[in-house]
Structure 1
């Protein structure tokens, strides 16, 4: 875990231990990247910030050096500091930046947020324009928190608040809210004369120093103080409001300038809780009347106006209409809260529109699962709490809103409850399965009074039917999650229900194309989507064009399908759509649209995975084969290990031994085996593919390409070249990749002239296909043709290959080019940069499962360590690499013409020490050796 603290002198902690960050430039770099919130910060902006007056001539290299050293300070988390096309970004998890933590905490616990300040925020960076702006904002936030704490103490009747309010007003003498708080504190103490004197003093000071008048609110407050004590009309709900700081601020901001605000969202998301909190807050201010009309129990539209009139105490007779309510409120200043409008949406729309015309002093705050569509309506859509991913840092986990909500509800029945390390994974899984939905969290949390958290998790299949235990609840829709969802479902039209049920089998959500392909009936699917989003049963991501069901809503719909006998048909449509998606994405992934295809492929993985598993359970071999082979080319360049697993699982399934497409499956599985470094299995499957189709068939390209890879990794570059040429000639659309591979093999074999000819052919093929990953690979090979002669000349090609590959998701190409770049940098004299890059690559290859590339990188890194005098760790890495079956062959002849480095073990240790090294490797395990290798690399600066 990382912790970056900026509310005071900059401080960095890595896994709980403080780490010094020396040098102004490096500290500015860390502050800027941390405050960017995971967004890229451009190179130019960073250079301007690090060197305000005159950047050095080699500013980009100097910036890179600072980035590299900062990665070293981040230690095992160095991979969080990433180079992206636009510049650099630092990935911080929620709670790891004290500024973000405080902003998230400010609305629910201002005192706790205020306690995080250790001094003036960003004071050491006030000469940096970007950071100066942020420091001013943080100063303002601190003042607001001081006011919020004073406000809380006033409302709670804290008799000691007056002295602190006076101190706060002295520290910010022109801040009106602070001045008003002092006036209110004095008035609450029964010192009305002093309160009015303070208000008059503030007026004079503001006029003398700024020439301005205070807001009208101060005059209202003076009148109220003169008239007597302030009234409190709406009681604040029990317990703190957790995780809704931004939404609360949005609603208050919108209410300040607009007449109608609707808080909407799915059932159980906390709309009523937020509205009541805001109503109580505004009521406590005493500036206007606040009235809350609870509509959950109003079951008929013709009783709506009567319920409003009764709550408000309006004098009416006989039948009450919207016009009667409006007339009675014509001269009132009032905030009218209409809670739970969805089942009376038409009537509420009429009432609000009528009141707004006749009673300009009335503002309306509505809560509803559907928007009201009143003219001038502003909508704040509540989303469920985000679910934390990392359970490693218990302190950070406990600060997450979803976890805090779980703990608060559990403590109502078990006062000493808290999340312990042993419970952390179970709590996070409970929150995930409940979509972070506040009502669901309440339902689950109440169970911990009678069972351990692990048992709550085990019973989550019954989550829809857990009861709240609210004995006096008058809203039956809130007593179980199923009832909550069903109450929204029953309000839908038949066409809306049909589309919702069709979407239920898709765990990863859908795009518009999928909606249009599966939507039943004649209704416009786009119109139906709008209505389902308005009903808060479907969430929309307008940026990516995705539509998703909450886990709990999806569970309800699948139960509906099962209960009505429609589940099999819906699942059949789902599998068919995923097969079509796989074919579409596989085709696009080897053409000019690869970037979009890669993004979409990763987005659709949850659906594809579920469809593959469902097809397996249903014995639908055709669907599994179509999905796996369609994505075969796409998987070659990507770190999508489960696609590799699909291919290998299929190849070993006796049920498809006689299938007409067996050869394609075997060829795809051969490539998957090659990717994980199982070269013997890859060769066997390639031979089986060739036996099934013959050497000249079009499908043989899979076998030729795998044979080429196996030969290349085993050092037979002539055979590798010939096999890859055959692969390119057999498969036109991927010819560029295999011809570039053949060029690489020729270059490694010392035949530069043939390599040049083959690579020119590859470039020509890539111009036809315009496939970014193939272009990136050919660019990498361009660097390899130069590196042994002029290392510095090769570097721009590697950098370009990495950028192109990263942009289209070709992690394999990004990785091999990264290894080559690190080696070239070392040859060019940048030893620390090479060491940092090797360390990052070891982590990346280890995560992706590319065993052959992992141990090639480890050998190259061992060479660097050996030359740096760290012989023991280098020797361990070489011994371990030699023991890995998937490691590529290397020798002095191979190293002469390639980026693979050869370091004789006997140059590092005596022959009699080798047995001891093997024993140490066996004790450490390969993973332990890699950890040690990374630690040594991090020490090279």
Structure 2
């Protein structure tokens, strides 16, 4: 990099130097030079006047400090001459706008991974040495010194990898200059061993061990002992040195299966990608695997998080591999350099460089057969032959009653093992189990969060850990070393980063803090409206500061748990709690209303994703909101989730309906209708009908206000087999509806069909099709079309069910997808496709149980009983029917209903003899519905894996009516 061509250069890696358009400018005066250094290091973020004054006069600022600062800034602008506009005035301070590479420290960081030689050449002496009396610049100098030492080590390691025996002299000099730096000491030992000086290598290792103990009281890591063993065994030779990967600190819990799977895949395939959300442990698992050289041999880890451009990927890889290339490094050169090598190449954090990584991996597959690639990335590389292992957060248990089973859960084991590193006698008790499960739940099962929380049990009980999760966590980072300020806390770490932000950035971060589910770009822009800066610039700077995480796939921005905890404390300290809550609740109300308006339109799929992403925020806002806002949020989203597996939102209306304060509320009718809908969704038809009648009576002549209540009355009648009543009630609902009219008319068509009036059903369905404006309604029309065809020609209904499933799944409409799957499985039963039908019924029983939709569960179970009976599994089929007959929320069915619908009707007495029936009834009551369903799931699984012989006589199943 030729920096002499740059318009402006500020050099701090040695005595401070300013060059403007290639000419050196003499900046006189210690304070003025310090202002230049401070602003150059801070970059586009800038510094407030207060921060500058505190940095320049840390102990006793003069009374005219601000005026003196203005004078220094004015003179610096004169020094900048034609580039004076680069030193910009901000609302609360100043910033020096520098382009990439114009600050030598920035250039060094950018070149560190791609060209460490060039990066190291930028140092002209100790960084910022003239400012060591100013704490702010002294802190900056420590970081720059660490970067220089890392570059020295990287170059030594690269030379060792190439078998450069002359490196031993430079390694000795580096070790003498940094006598307590372990990595440098290890490189010195390796250089001596590679030069054949085994005795000197062992002596150097022992000397470092003694020096570290004497001067710091610390012990070296296990890497030194392992290296000593290698030296003693004579296994350190030339180019093989410098390739050992250190194991990540701490236990690996809950990942044994994933680890075995990755190792197995790497043994047989050349490309494996570890993917999953941030904090799930992708890098940790990859490093743990790479560190086991006896399993996979030589390994090289290339950290790509620091590589900011695709064209630098190959340079970074070549540098870490120690490959010498000329000109621009390309994938083919790396592949040629590794043509005869056997190694594991770990490409860590590929998600922002997927195209470049893909090109490199393809080249390696073609030209370096001995290289296996283990990539970590939030997205897959999509290369030929790639095997993907998706890491998930550790599962969070729900049942706290079985302590022994709980202790075996991966997330619990992870917490316990991390806790025992600090409290060896820690053991989970039955009393503590609920607290631990709540901690794990609120940490989403992410391994990083579990580790941090587990550290607290050394000083407090689990109940206190749970109670402190909503507050700033004063956790030790666990790092040890002279550069880490031993016992440094997470609060101190976060606060140091937070204090480097501008006032506007700090304010925006605090405004985001109440949003427990994260924020989208639109919310960031709304929150940033009172600020002077560009919201996008502010957002980028917060992400760059690592205080705000960005998920490019979902276009959302989230705070780490510990960062949010710190900000909550900061909001309290500043007295901003009420203001923050009001702003948060109001934004959530607007979001909820926007979701309600958009869900049943052309943007349904995106709106569904948005609703699910905002659910945590909406829940939290309801908890904080006054009555009117709580009602507004509930009403806005309640109706549009009727066909979605969001039982929590169904319950919001129930909660409000039971509140006596609702009696005089303007939205009372809407809330009652929502509560009625929630009741019928879980099979409580009596409550549903009662609340629907109450809503209809309260609505009076307002057809629009009563529409949803009439729909609930229709559903109840439909499931009770009163199809004419259901049809008429749905048509009445359609008269007052707007966006929902297609669903109501389509439902009326379904009721007409089930009642045997196919002519009216066809007319209504055509009308519903013309009214459909969103994906879920079009899917429902396709489903009803299948129902109209199913009773006369089951095979003709299948394409419509498939269409309904496809369209419903695209927009997240779980209910329509589910009922279409029920009908599809029933049709497959009737046409003899037993494996497909069994697989479908098994999936659906699990789905309806999970979402709590009792009516659909037992309709599915009845239809599955028909399949089981036809396959010769009459005992289980009979017990399913026994449980379905007793379930209060099951849909009514008889011979007439089954004739015109896909509801299956089997008389349990026709399946087994009278004596056996009594025995089965007794066993069913003893087992209970849940275990009967479990047994049915097991037998459906057997049928799903069998062929056509699973049917009676190897062909079409028997029919019962």
Q: Same fold (TM over 0.5)?
A: yes
1:736-776: CA deviation from partner (whole Å, max 9, x where unpaired): 1111111111111111100000000001111xx2x000000
Q: What is residue 738 of structure 2 aligned with on the other side?
A: 732
Q: Does 1:645 align with 2:651?
A: yes
Partner of 1:825: 828
Taking a change above 3 Å as real, the CA distance of residues 793 and 917 of structure 1, as seen in their structure-2 partners, is same
Corresponding residue to 1:886 among 889, 900, 906: 889
Equivalences for 1:331-370 in 2 at 5 Å? none
* 488 and 906 in structure 1: CA distance in 2 versus 1, 3 angstrom threshold: same
Which residue is equivalent to 2:518? 509
Distance change in 2, residues 1:696/1:239 (3 Å): closer
Change (3 A) 1:412 1:884: closer
Instruction: Indicate yes or no: 2:764 matched with 1:754.
Output: no
1:553 aligns with: 563
Partner of residue 566, structure 1: 576
Once the two structures are TM-superposed, the CA of residue 439 in structure 1 deviates from its matched residue by 9.0
Q: Would you say the 8 A contact 2:703–2:735 is kept in 1?
A: no
**CA 1:476–1:799: 2 relative to 1, 3 Å:** same
CA–CA distance in structure 2, aligned partners of residues 903 and 825 of structure 1: 17
Q: How many residues align?
A: 608
Partner of residue 857, structure 1? 860
Residue 522 of structure 1, CA deviation: 2.1
**Alignment partner of 1:523: what SS?**
coil
Which SS does the other structure have where 1:732 is aligned? coil
> How far did residue 703 of structure 1 move?
1.4
Q: Within 5 A, what are the aligned runs for 1:695-844? A: 696-766=702-772, 769=773, 771-844=774-847
Q: CA RMSD in A?
A: 4.9
- Aligned counterpart in structure 2 of residue 523 of structure 1, from 533, 542, 550: 533
Alpha-carbon separation, structure 2, partners of 1:554 and 1:579: 22
**Change in 2 beyond 3 A, CA 1:412/1:828:** same
CA distance in 2, matches of 1:226, 1:901: 74
CA 1:874–1:737: 2 relative to 1, 3 Å = same
CA distance in 2, matches of 1:909, 1:435: 48
Q: 1:514 to 1:839 in 2, by over 3 A?
A: same
Distance in 1 (CA, whole Å) between partners of 2:927 and 2:888 is 18
Kept in 2, the 8 Å contact 1:388–1:428? The answer is no
Matched-pair contact (CA < 8 Å) for 2:676–2:712:
yes
CA drift at 1:803: 0.6
**Retained in 2: the 8 A contact 1:187–1:225?**
no
> Which TM-score applies when normalising by structure 1?
0.57
1:121-151 per-residue CA deviation (whole Å, 9 max, x = no partner) reads xxxxxxxxxxxxxxxxxxxxxxxxxxx9xx9
Q: Which has the higher contact order (CA 8 A, sep 6+)?
A: 1
| Residue of structure 2 in register with 1:582 after alignment | 592
2:931 is the alignment partner of 1:922 = no
The 2-side partners of 1:678 and 1:666 are apart by 15
Q: What is residue 870 of structure 2 aligned with on the other side?
A: 867
Distance 1:443 1:644 in 2: 35
2:542 maps to which residue? Answer: 532
**How many angstroms apart in 2 are the aligned matches of 1:411 and 1:226?**
33
Residues 670-728 of structure 1 deviation map (CA, whole Å, 9 limit, x = unaligned): 11111111111111111001100125521111111111111110111111111111111
Residue segments in structure 1 that go unaligned for 5+ positions in a row = 1-147, 155-180, 193-223, 247-265, 282-333, 336-379
Name the counterpart of 2:222: none
Q: CA deviation at 1:463?
A: 5.9
The DSSP-based 3-state class of the residue aligned with 1:547 is strand
Partner residue of 1:931? 934
Paired residue for 2:551?
541
**What is aligned with 1:596?**
606
Distance 2:236 2:720 in 1: 93
Residue 733 of structure 1: SS of its match in structure 2? coil
**What's the counterpart of residue 56 of structure 2?**
none
Per-residue CA deviation, residues 60-112 of structure 1 (Å, 9 max, x unaligned), is xxxxxxxxxxxxxxxxxxxxxxxxxxxxxxxxxxxxxxxxxxxxxxxxxxxxx
Contact 1:435 1:552 (8 Å CA) reproduced: no
Cα shift at 1:669: 1.2
**Paired position in structure 2 for 1:196:** none
User: SS at 2:739's partner residue?
Assistant: helix
Q: Which residue of 2 aligns with 1:609?
A: 619
**Alpha-carbon distance change, 456 to 386 in structure 1, aligned in 2, over 3 angstroms:** farther
Matched, 1:676 2:682: yes
**Residue aligned with 1:657, SS:** helix
For the structure 1 residues 878 and 642, does the alpha-carbon distance in structure 2 shift closer, same or farther, using more than 3 Å as the test? same
- CA distance in 2 between counterparts of 1:792 and 1:779 reads 15
- Counterpart for residue 300 of structure 2: none
1:645: how far off? 0.4
Alignment of structure 1 residues 7-406 onto 2, 5 Å:
187=196, 387-390=393-396
> TM-score scaled to structure 2, two decimals?
0.56
Which residue of 482, 488, 493 maps to 1:479? 488
Give 3-state SS (helix, strand or coil) of 1:939's partner.
helix
Q: Give the Cα separation in 2 of the matches to 1:437 and 1:480.
A: 20
1:797 alignment partner, SS class:
helix
- The 3 A distance-change label for structure 1 pair 382 and 539 is farther
C-alpha deviation, 1:909, in angstroms? 3.4
Give the distance between the partners of 1:237 and 1:867, measured in 2 at CA. 57
Listed one character per residue, the Cα deviations across residues 204-238 of structure 1 (whole Å, up to 9, x for unaligned) are: xxxxxxxxxxxxxxxxxxxx999999999999899
Q: 1:655 Cα shift? A: 1.0
Post-superposition offset of 1:847: 0.6
Asked if the contact 1:508–1:604 (Cα under 8 Å) also holds between the matched residues in 2, the reply is: yes
Report the counterpart of residue 627 of structure 1 in structure 2.
633
- Give me the whole-angstrom Cα distance separating, in 1, the residues matched to 2:489 and 2:595: 41
CA separation in 2, counterparts of 1:929 and 1:903?
17
- Measured after TM superposition, the shift of residue 460 of structure 1 is 4.4
SS at match of 2:909: helix
| Aligned partner of residue 799 in structure 2, secondary structure | helix
Contact 1:440 1:481 in 2 (8 A): no
Q: Which moved more, 1:802-811 or 1:688-697?
A: 688-697
Q: 1:542, CA displacement in angstroms?
A: 2.0
In 1, Cα distance between equivalents of 2:885 and 2:670: 33
Match of 1:202 in 2: none
- CA deviation profile, 1:427-452 (whole Å, cap 9, x unmatched): 67656767899997676545555666
**Residues in 1 aligned to 2:911 and 2:872: alpha-carbon distance in whole angstroms:** 9
CA-CA distance at 1:931 after TM superposition: 1.0
Match of 1:411 among 421, 432, 435: 421
Query: Do 2:599 and 2:607's aligned partners in 1 also have CA atoms closer than 8 Å?
Result: yes
Check whether the contact 2:779–2:805 (CA below 8 A) recurs between aligned residues: yes
> What is the match of residue 488 of structure 1?
497
2:850 and 2:237 mapped to 1: Cα distance? 70
- Counterpart contact for 1:724–1:741, Cα < 8 Å: yes
Distance 2:503 2:726 in 1: 61
Aligned-partner Cα distance in 1 for 2:420–2:478: 13
1:904 CA drift (Å): 1.2
Q: In structure 2, what is the Cα distance between the partners aligned to 1:626 and 1:665? A: 10
Cα distance change, pair 406–889 in 1 and its aligned pair in 2 (3 A): closer
Q: For 1:929 and 1:437, how far apart are their aligned partners in 2?
A: 34
